[in-house]
């Protein structure tokens, strides 16, 4: 093992002085004056050597103390000048370095604290990944958006969370952005980027919800078109039907039978077209809900009883899984929510074949209406709540559009998806 420099110096000094003592004793022992003088000089040499050793070891001690302080990340320790130039230069350099390190550390801590506060207060959901692509941190917006605590996310990969939104982001690369739509309604813009941490790349996801903005833009767009169409069509239909009725009345009943019948058919078609336009206009003119405290469980049960006859006509089994004493109180517009339940159950009936089942069930804070009829494809699921989208040949897409508007006005969440078992479930959530 290699000896430290101080030990080498001590060994060298001891050896030299031991030799000097031996030589002085051997050569000068008979001359007492010279012997005493030589011993005094040797003592002085030892004192000087010890002082030199101390002078040399002091900077080393300073350096050692400074290194220990830096290892402990203690940047508050500073050394006082000793009055010796060589040591004071070292102390001055060390103190200057410690000041700079302390300032840099304070600056980094302040920046880190500011960044943490900024991430936590961000209106955009942020998920930060570690070097192994596992989630290491999420902000408050993400916790509220996914309605989960931090412990649910930390240490897991995106695909391990089994959340429909995050499942679609597994293949997203750094620098890419993607617009994701789930439940046919909720729309998110997701961007993945990275930062450097200890010389390595770490990724993070920013998830911005666009649902309200898109829905508002859609509503303004189709509302303007429908109002314009309704104005033009109703004005034309009114005048046209008046002419048809007047012309038909002028024709005698005994003659022009074919013409009278044709005018009758044209008039009826006008009236159907007027009803068609009225249905569209009702979506735009939907009033704000007039809410009152209502037992939603009882309302679901009554609508289920009302729709059971229609289901049985088609050979379906409609089960109402609402207990006799079960209640779910909430402030709703009874007429509007009743229309929602009717639309959803009617769609479930249309999707079923004889022998299929429909189930209505009320839970602690949500309602589920499910059926085991024809499942909804992934492509269709993303468009279900688009304005006036319909999978039926003669469908207008008004039912789900009206349902969407009513539920949004009530502040209720909703989704319509098919599972692997073949059940399609319409969930109305956040009732309380």
Is the pLDDT assigned to residue 172 strictly greater than 80?
Answer: yes
> What's the CA gap between 173 and 193, in Å, rounded?
8
Q: In this structure, is residue 101 part of a structural domain?
A: no
> What pLDDT is recorded for position 297?
93
Chosen domain end from 284, 301, 318: 284
In this structure, are 326 and 387 located in the same domain? yes
Q: In this structure, is residue 182 part of a structural domain?
A: yes
Chosen domain end from 261, 284, 307: 284
> In total, how many domains does the chain have?
4
Band (pLDDT 50/70/90 cuts) for residue 354 is very high
Q: In this structure, is residue 227 part of a structural domain?
A: yes
Band (pLDDT 50/70/90 cuts) for residue 8 is confident
CATH code, domain with 168: 3.30.450.20
Is the pLDDT assigned to residue 255 strictly greater than 70?
Answer: no
> What pLDDT is recorded for position 394?
65
If you average pLDDT over residues 17-26, what whole number do you get?
Answer: 79
> What's the CA gap between 51 and 33, in Å, rounded?
27
> What pLDDT is recorded for position 121?
87
For residue 138, give its domain range.
Answer: 122-209
Over residues 265-319, the pLDDT tens digits come to 777 777 777 776 776 677 667 778 899 999 999 999 999 999 999 999 999 999 9
Is the pLDDT assigned to residue 423 strictly greater than 80?
Answer: yes
Over residues 195-210, the pLDDT tens digits come to 888 788 889 999 988 7
Chosen domain end from 255, 284, 313: 284
Is the pLDDT assigned to residue 16 strictly greater than 90?
Answer: no
Q: Write the burial class of residue 125 (CB in 10 Å: 0-12 exposed, 13-18 middle, 19+ buried).
A: buried
In this structure, are 325 and 355 located in the same domain? yes
In this structure, are 404 and 306 located in the same domain? yes
Angle separating helix axes 334-351 and 398-410, nearest 10 degrees: 140
In this structure, are 307 and 370 located in the same domain? yes
In this structure, are 359 and 242 located in the same domain? no
Predicted model pTM: 0.56
If you average pLDDT over residues 60-82, what whole number do you get?
Answer: 72
Q: In this structure, is residue 136 part of a structural domain?
A: yes
In this structure, are 179 and 261 located in the same domain? no
> What's the CA gap between 207 and 150, in Å, rounded?
16
In this structure, are 70 and 19 located in the same domain? yes
């Amino acid at each position: 093992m290699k000896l430290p420099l101080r030990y080498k110096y001590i060994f060298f000094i001891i050896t030299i002085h031991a030799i000097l003592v031996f030589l002085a004793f051997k050569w000068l022992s008979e001359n007492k004056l010279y012997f005493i003088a030589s011993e005094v000089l040797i003592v002085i040499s030892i004192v000087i050597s010890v002082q030199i050793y101390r002078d040399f070891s002091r900077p080393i001690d300073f350096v050692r103390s400074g290194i220990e302080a830096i290892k402990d990340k203690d940047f508050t320790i500073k050394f006082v000048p000793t009055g010796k130039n060589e040591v004071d230069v070292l102390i001055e350099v060390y103190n200057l370095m410690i000041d700079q390190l302390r300032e840099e550390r304070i600056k980094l801590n302040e920046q880190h604290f500011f960044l943490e506060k900024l991430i936590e207060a961000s209106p955009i959901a942020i998920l930060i990944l570690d070097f192994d692509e596992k989630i290491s941190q999420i902000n408050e917006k993400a916790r509220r958006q996914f309605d989960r605590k931090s412990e649910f996310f930390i240490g897991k990969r995106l695909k391990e969370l089994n959340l429909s939104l995050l499942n679609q982001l597994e293949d997203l690369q750094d620098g890419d952005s993607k617009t994701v739509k789930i439940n046919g309604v909720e729309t998110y813009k997701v961007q993945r980027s990275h930062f450097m941490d200890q010389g390595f790349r770490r990724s993070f996801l920013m998830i911005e919800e666009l649902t309200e903005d898109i829905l508002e833009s859609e509503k303004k767009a189709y509302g303007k078109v429908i109002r314009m169409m309704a104005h033009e069509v109703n004005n034309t239909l009114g005048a046209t039907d008046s002419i048809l009725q007047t012309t038909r009345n002028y024709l005698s009943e005994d003659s022009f039978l074919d013409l009278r019948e044709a005018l009758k058919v044209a008039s009826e078609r006008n009236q159907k077209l007027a009803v068609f336009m009225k249905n569209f206009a009702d979506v735009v003119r939907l009033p704000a809900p007039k809410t009152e405290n209502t037992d939603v469980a009882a309302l679901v049960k009554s609508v289920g009883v009302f729709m059971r006859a229609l289901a049985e006509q088609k050979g379906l089994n409609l089960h109402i899984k609402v207990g006799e004493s079960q209640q779910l109180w909430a402030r709703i517009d009874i007429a509007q929510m009743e229309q929602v339940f009717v639309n959803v159950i009617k769609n479930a009936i249309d999707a079923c074949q004889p022998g299929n089942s429909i189930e209505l069930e009320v839970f602690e804070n949500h309602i589920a209406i499910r059926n085991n009829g024809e499942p909804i494809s992934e492509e269709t699921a993303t468009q279900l709540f688009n304005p006036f989208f319909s999978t039926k040949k003669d469908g207008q897409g008004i039912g789900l559009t009206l349902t969407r508007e009513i539920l949004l006005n009530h502040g209720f969440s909703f989704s319509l998806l098919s599972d692997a078992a073949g059940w399609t479930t319409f969930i109305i959530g956040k009732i309380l």
